[in-house]
Amino acid sequence: MTTAQQPDVRPGRLAAAEYANAFADASPRLTRSQALLEAERCLYCFDAPCTTACPTSIDVPSFIKRIADDNLRGAARTILESNPLGGMCARVCPTENLCEAVCVRNTQTGNPVAIGRLQRHAVDALMESSKPQIFTRAPATGKTVAVVGAGPAGLACAYTLARKGHDVVIFDARPKAGGLNEYGLASYKTPNQFAQAEVQWLLGIGGIAVRNDWKLANASQLDALRGEFDAVFLAMGLSGTHALGIPGEALSGVRDAVDFIAELRQSPDLSTLPVGRRVVVIGGGMTAVDAAVQAKLLGAESVHMVYRRGADDLSASTAEQEWAQTNGITIGLWLAPIELVSTLDCANPGVGSGGHVCAVRFAHQAMVNGRLCATGETTILQADMVLKAIGQQLGNPLLAEAGLTLQGGRIATDALGQTSVPGVWAGGDCRAGGLDLTVEAVEHGKQSAQAIHAHLTRT
Amino acid sequence: MANLHTTFAGISSPNPFWLASAPPTDKATNVNRAFEAGWGGVVWKTLGEAGPPVVNVNGPRYGALLSADRRLMGFNNIELITDRDLDLNLREIAEVKRNWPDRAMVVSLMVPCEEQSWKSILARLVDTGADGIELNFGCPHGMSERGMGAAVGQVPEYIEMVTAWCKQYSKLPVIVKLTPNITDIRLPARAAKKGGADAVSLINTINSIMGVDPYSLTMSPSTGGKGSHGGYCGPAVKPIALNMVAEIARDPLTTGLPISGIGGIGNWRDALDFIALGAGNVQVCTAAMVYGFKIVQEMSDGLSNYMDEMGFASVEQIVGKALPTVTNWQYLNLNHISKAVINQDSCIQCGRCHIACEDTSHQAINCEKDGKRHFEVKEEECVGCNLCVLVCPVPDCITLRNLVPGEKDLRTDQEVSEQYANWTTHPNNPMRV
């Protein structure tokens, strides 16, 4: 570091016409012909491993057979019966770790049936059809349920309860429903406003009202919901992010990856979105990949995704890692950030603070006797923009005040999502002990809805 | 490379693969291309009487049974005999034969069941240089309504009568093409032989309707809203054809009558099936219509390699080789015991064998072992029915093991006998001898 540098963060790195192409559907929908061929590969296994591997237990052989039989509506029904957010899950599930990981075609040919893409084919066809509603609502029960959070868990819970005839109000802190589906996923996974289309389809069952811009901020709000509604389902996700806890974290140009992704998702014109010439993303999960790839697609010259452990510990799936590398992301391993360097201090790193970030200093890591240790070596990566993707936390002290038992900072529940507070269930990322997957959040919502239904209808 | 040359009913050809009388052999353009590709012979598409030719529909003439990945499994047609002028056909036949003297040129014929009609058309063939004639007693659509084709093939007396006329008015070898739309194929074959036929060829196509369009609820394919049954062929009919070929080949009344095997032949294995069950050569249509004429090269190469591997010097050596293994059910050895065995190393654990056996057969395959997914045959329940072998997606993963005499059959608790014993002497048979 010899000379101070000016940060290079600016919008419009691509020609205006290039954005649409750069952010096009990462995995376009199968054509009918492709779907029929792929469906033919399914062996219609007995007690199918894919169904067992699906957190929502979708009867995969059944829906694939229906695709092969030219019965797309029936295929969609099979999917949505088990997973009302089957359309989004088809796009974002790490299928290579779930259903497709256990497909017997792996054993036979090393190439599983493309279950996720087939699922999307069927659900999209239904949603674009003239009669997209496939289920009808049971007669009204007069019971009411409050759902906090309009993400996958909240929507799944609300939909399942509404189908059973209960009236549901979903409260959400954001201006739009959808949660991470709307704000937290790379746009090339869900282009063309699919998250909103799915929300509209879900609300189409009837009996669900959405109150936006309503944030659960104190214990008395929860008490009020408990008083006003017959049951409450908490599915507000994780609003806080972890801090790196290293010098320079407050420099401009350093931000949370989730905010970067949310801004990008809501931007009506990607050419107005500033991005650094050199971007460093810190973290090893799906959010890190989504942030890194989108930064690159916005025109960043170099993007490093840096993780403090080895490849085996990356929580981004192999397919996600390959996707990142295919898009020109350099994945750096065994590097823990120790300092964010300011432009003011680039000539003399480690001294001051303030100004814009210009580099990240990393300490090399190694496993020694099963423990992660610094080797003493350091590396510097130049950066005009640093995105932190090291995980999220509940970050909501009021929950403990409201009497909810927490576990690892998240809400402790029984297997069906019942919390320590009577009449209150919880699911999705805010529930303790999960995998932080969309599909799991849906299953939480579904399970708790069934438990709430049982609770509301017991005689 | 093995020599594939065959002489069938006195007709020589460089290989046993002939194109059957059908659209591919309609005219010189096609047949020249076929010979260039390597076909051993053709049966020229059926000629009718002199005069105004027949008229075909100008809409779908073909329908198909497709697999999900659009492989053609079965094929159906409503095309009639040639719709071209007789003189033109005869001129082209003569010209093509002149250019391809080593190839078999057989001409298919179909005229009304009158002696004069047959006498006239046979006279017209003399100068063409054709090697033989095939009597089309098989087409099940259109022409049969006019008293020809299958309408003749379904009446053994007519077959014998027309065959005899042809032998009387022509020196050419006479091949009688049989319709499968009949209860017992041996009767028309016997009639052909009685009439003096040099050979029979079979099967012609089977009466068939391909389906219904689900949204218009119209028979499919349709010509302007109506359809008509057509002739069915292609891979799906092969087993039916093989049985009929074997029936004729092992019938003492037609023993030695040359058979040209037809029905769903798409590769050398199919051809071998026919030849081993008694066919002296084979005729192909659907495979050529699906893949083009080049397909004969794969058939010839496959058969040739097989013959080299097996040490066969000529196709003739294979003809009827498997026939002694075809018998009637009552002679099957009821003391023979097979059991299915699943090779755990190649099992992919799809479980299809289990559910097929569990739901529809003998509940003889477990789906679990020590709490884990695992598929294994319960010998005490297995009757060796072969269903699991057939539904398994992995080749050779499930096989049948023959129990050796003296070994205990866990299902019956009896030792396997080395004695051959069939139904004719079985104590449960009230008609036993």
Cβ-based burial of B215 (10 A; exposed 0-12, middle 13-18, buried ≥19): exposed
Contact B201, B139 (CB under 8 A): no
Helix (H, G, I), strand (E, B) or coil at A124: helix
In whole angstroms, give the CA distance from residue B137 to residue B150. 5
Mutate one of A34, A42, A46 to test the B interface: name it (highest B CB count within 10 A).
A46
Q: Which of A2-11, B70-79, B177-186 has the lowest mean pLDDT?
A: A2-11
pLDDT at B88 over 60: yes
Whether B359 contacts chain A with CB within 8 A: no
Chain A residue with minimum CA distance to B394: A108
Residue type, B149: G
**Among B348, B367, B393, beta carbon nearest to A47:** B367
For A375, residues 6+ apart whose C-beta sits below 8 A from its C-beta are: A363, A364, A365, A366
Q: Which residues of B are catalytic?
A: 139
User: Under an 8 A CB cutoff, do B67 and A40 touch?
Assistant: yes
Q: Of chain B residues 161-220, which have a CB less than 8 A from chain A?
A: none
Q: What are phi and psi of B121, to 5 degrees?
A: -70, -35
Q: Give CA separation, A208 vs A165, B76, B163, B219, B289, in Å.
A: 10, 55, 82, 47, 59
∠ CA(A393), CA(A396), CA(A397), 5° rounding? 125
pLDDT at A5 over 50: yes
Give the distance from CA B229 to its chain's centroid: 20
Instruction: Return the residue matching tokens 């909810």.
Output: A404
What digits encode the pLDDT tens for the residues A336-382? 999 999 987 655 554 445 799 999 999 999 999 999 999 999 999 99
| Residues of chain B found within 8 Å of residue A47, distances taken between Cβ atoms | 351, 367, 373
Q: What are phi and psi of B36, to 5 degrees?
A: -60, -35
Q: Of chain B residues 369-388, which have a CB less than 8 A from chain A?
A: 373
* Pairs of residues, one from chain A and one from chain B, whose beta carbons lie less than 8 Å apart: 39
pLDDT at B176 over 70: yes
Q: pLDDT category, A154, cuts 50, 70, 90?
A: very high
Q: pLDDT category, A1, cuts 50, 70, 90?
A: very low
Distance between A151 CA and the closest CA of chain B, angstroms: 35
Instruction: Return the residue matching tokens 């209808």.
Output: A457
In whole angstroms, give the CA distance from residue A373 to residue A375. 6
pLDDT at B185 over 90: yes
Alpha-helix residue ranges (DSSP H) falling in A149-307: 152-163, 180-183, 194-203, 219-228, 257-266, 286-297
Q: For residues A216-232, b (16+ Cβ closer than 10 Å) or e, as one string?
A: beebebbeebbeebbbb
User: Under an 8 A CB cutoff, do A49 and B349 touch?
Assistant: yes
Question: What is the pLDDT at residue A303?
Answer: 98
State mean pLDDT over B152-159. Answer: 94
- DSSP letter string over A427-451? -GGGBTT----HHHHHHHHHHHHHH
What digits encode the pLDDT tens for the residues A378-422? 999 999 999 999 988 776 677 788 889 999 889 999 999 999 999
What digits encode the pLDDT tens for the residues B28-43? 999 999 999 999 999 9
Whether B391 contacts chain A with CB within 8 A: no
Residues belonging to chain B: 433
In whole angstroms, give the CA distance from residue B280 to residue A311. 65
CATH class of the domain comprising A242-391: alpha beta
In whole angstroms, give the CA distance from residue B45 to residue B297. 22
**Among B67, B354, B393, beta carbon nearest to A43:** B393
Q: What is the CA radius of gyration of chain B?
A: 25
Contact A299, A271 (CB under 8 A): no
Chain B residue with minimum CA distance to A48: B350
Mutate one of B348, B358, B361 to test the A interface: name it (highest A CB count within 10 A).
B348
Distance between A100 CA and the closest CA of chain B, angstroms: 14
In whole angstroms, give the CA distance from residue A159 to residue B288. 56
In whole angstroms, give the CA distance from residue B337 to residue B383. 8
State mean pLDDT over A63-70. Answer: 96
- The superfamily CATH assigns to domain A32-127 is Alpha-helical ferredoxin (1.10.1060.10)
The mean pLDDT of chain B is 96
Question: What is the pLDDT at residue A3?
Answer: 47
Q: Of chain B residues 55-74, which have a CB less than 8 A from chain A?
A: 67-70
In whole angstroms, give the CA distance from residue B278 to residue B320. 4
**Among B67, B69, B355, beta carbon nearest to A46:** B355
Question: What is the pLDDT at residue A346?
Answer: 59
**Biggest alpha carbon–alpha carbon distance for chain A:** 77
Kindly report the number of other CB atoms within 10 A of residue A147's CB atom: 35
Percent pLDDT > 90 in chain A is 87
Strands (E), A296-420: 302-306, 329-332, 335-342, 357-368, 371-382, 385-388, 392-393, 406-407, 410-411
In whole angstroms, give the CA distance from residue A144 to residue A165. 9
Q: 3-state SS string over B33-92?
A: HHHHHCCCEEEEEEECCCCCCCCCCCCCCEEEEECCCCCEEEEEECCCCCCCCHHHHHHH
User: Under an 8 A CB cutoff, do A68 and B68 touch?
Assistant: yes
Whether A68 contacts chain B with CB within 8 A: yes
Percent pLDDT > 70 in chain B is 100
Comparing CA positions, the residue from A445, A424, A415 lying closest to residue A208 is: A445
Q: Which of A1-15, A21-35, A183-197, B88-102 has the lowest mean pLDDT?
A: A1-15
Distance between B66 CA and the closest CA of chain A, angstroms: 12
Q: pLDDT category, B145, cuts 50, 70, 90?
A: confident
pLDDT at B56 over 60: yes
- DSSP letter string over A73-90? HHHHHHHHHH-TTHHHHH
For A87, residues 6+ apart whose C-beta sits below 8 A from its C-beta are: A120, A123, A124, A127, A194, A198, A201
Q: Give CA separation, A60 vs A75, A89, A157, A319, B334, in Å.
A: 9, 13, 22, 21, 43
Kindly report the number of other CB atoms within 10 A of residue A34's CB atom: 15
Whether A295 contacts chain B with CB within 8 A: no
* DSSP-assigned letter for residue B223: B
What digits encode the pLDDT tens for the residues A252-304? 999 999 999 999 999 999 999 999 999 999 999 999 999 999 999 999 999 99
**Among B68, B351, B352, beta carbon nearest to A40:** B68
Both structure tokens of B181: 């739309």
User: Under an 8 A CB cutoff, do A108 and B67 touch?
Assistant: no
The count of C-alpha atoms lying within 13 angstroms of the C-alpha of B65, restricted to the half-sphere facing its C-beta, is 17
State mean pLDDT over B111-133. Answer: 96
Helix (H, G, I), strand (E, B) or coil at B278: coil
Percent pLDDT > 90 in chain B is 94
Helix (H, G, I), strand (E, B) or coil at A402: coil
E strand or H helix at A144, and its extent?
Answer: strand A144-148
In whole angstroms, give the CA distance from residue B166 to residue B164. 5
Question: What is the pLDDT at residue A353?
Answer: 54
Cβ-based burial of A447 (10 A; exposed 0-12, middle 13-18, buried ≥19): buried
Mutate one of B73, B342, B347, B350 to test the A interface: name it (highest A CB count within 10 A).
B350
What digits encode the pLDDT tens for the residues B241-282? 999 999 999 999 999 999 999 999 999 999 999 999 999 999
**Among B68, B69, B348, beta carbon nearest to A104:** B348
- DSSP letter string over B290-358? HH-TTHHHHHHHHHHHHHHHHT-SSGGGTTTTTGGG---GGGS-TT--EEEEE-TTT-----HHHHHHH
Whether A129 contacts chain B with CB within 8 A: no
State mean pLDDT over B63-83. Answer: 94
Chain A residue with minimum CA distance to B214: A70
Contact A89, A438 (CB under 8 A): yes
| Residues of chain A found within 8 Å of residue B69, distances taken between Cβ atoms | 36-37, 40
Distance between A69 CA and the closest CA of chain B, angstroms: 9
Contact B365, B377 (CB under 8 A): yes
In whole angstroms, give the CA distance from residue B342 to residue B347. 7
Distance between A59 CA and the closest CA of chain B, angstroms: 15
Q: Where in chain A is the domain with CATH 3.50.50.60?
A: 144-239+394-456, 242-391
**Among A40, A46, A68, beta carbon nearest to B352:** A46
Give the distance from CA B209 to its chain's centroid: 19
Both structure tokens of A27: 């995995």
| Residues of chain A found within 8 Å of residue B354, distances taken between Cβ atoms | 46
| Residues of chain B found within 8 Å of residue A39, distances taken between Cβ atoms | 68
Comparing CA positions, the residue from A4, A54, A7 lying closest to residue A277 is: A7
Comparing CA positions, the residue from B416, B398, B399 lying closest to residue B407 is: B416
User: Under an 8 A CB cutoff, do B68 and A36 touch?
Assistant: yes
State mean pLDDT over B323-330. Answer: 97
User: Under an 8 A CB cutoff, do A36 and B69 touch?
Assistant: yes
In whole angstroms, give the CA distance from residue A324 to residue A312. 16
CATH of the domain spanning A144-239+394-456: 3.50.50.60
- Interstrand relation of A231-234 and A406-407 (parallel, antiparallel or unpaired): unpaired
What digits encode the pLDDT tens for the residues A88-137? 999 999 999 999 999 999 999 999 999 999 999 999 999 999 999 999 99
| Residues of chain A found within 8 Å of residue B351, distances taken between Cβ atoms | 45-48
Question: What is the pLDDT at residue A2?
Answer: 43
In whole angstroms, give the CA distance from residue B162 to residue B152. 9
What digits encode the pLDDT tens for the residues B274-325? 999 999 999 999 999 999 999 999 999 999 999 999 999 999 999 999 999 9
E strand or H helix at B201, and its extent?
Answer: strand B199-202
User: Under an 8 A CB cutoff, do B367 and A46 touch?
Assistant: yes
Q: Where in chain A is the domain with CATH 1.10.1060.10?
A: 32-127
pTM of the model: 0.91
| Residues of chain B found within 8 Å of residue A108, distances taken between Cβ atoms | 348, 393-394
